[in-house]
A and B are shown apart, each in its own frame.
Chain A
């Protein structure tokens, strides 16, 4: 019998969170890039450190 340790660990962690199946979607790099761009647009350049 084969064991998927990563899956088992995820199940243990999920149990620790209260058994709720909160699968978190892993973003693609393109999605991360879009998120970073949105943040850059929303945030004008801050004054630099002293």
Chain B
């Protein structure tokens, strides 16, 4: 995005056409897709193998759903940006995801430009949070 190094993205969605779509979107934003998972368990494995900067997580997935994966990822790292990208967007689910440590919650049906903008804004806000935290810790 605005970083010199490409932002490394891990995608998790059980639908191959959604993964292809999201991969195309984030690649067009200058990100590098370092892994594609079809469920939460795979996402955890790929997270360990690829060390992404940003994870885009679906919620409804077999084997391990996105919320369980989110919680497990947050145990592994609080530096990675995690964005839920899902068609589930009722208040209780959004609240549950934010409570569990998601940086943001995006509806899958957003118009393309809006989707890109929201991902970009979330990433920039996350980078700012990391800088603030590093400054505060120094």
Binding site for B on A (CB under 8 A): 24-29, 31-32, 35-36, 39, 45-49
CB distance from B21 to the nearest CB of A (A): 17
Could you tell me the distance between the alpha carbons of A31 and B77 in the complex, rounded to whole angstroms?
A: 27
Of B46-54, B61-69, B85-93, the one with at least 4 CB within 8 A of chain A: B85-93
In the assembled complex, B105 has its CB within 8 A of some CB on chain A? yes
* CB under 8 Å from chain A, chain B span 69-116: 77-79, 89-92, 94-95, 98, 104-107, 110, 114
Smallest Cβ-Cβ distance to A35: which chain B residue: B94
A46 B91 Cβ-Cβ under 8 A: no
26 A-B contacts, Cβ less than 8 Å apart? A24-B91, A25-B91, A26-B89, A26-B90, A27-B89, A27-B90, A29-B110, A29-B114, A31-B91, A32-B94, A32-B104, A32-B106, A32-B107, A35-B94, A35-B98, A36-B104, A36-B105, A45-B133, A46-B78, A46-B133, A48-B130, A48-B133, A48-B134, A48-B137, A49-B78, A49-B79
- Report the contact-size class of chain B (Cβ under 8 Å from the partner): 20 to 34
Could you tell me the distance between the alpha carbons of A48 and B89 in the complex, rounded to whole angstroms?
A: 28
In the assembled complex, B15 has its CB within 8 A of some CB on chain A? no
A29 B77 Cβ-Cβ under 8 A: no
A35 B77 Cβ-Cβ under 8 A: no
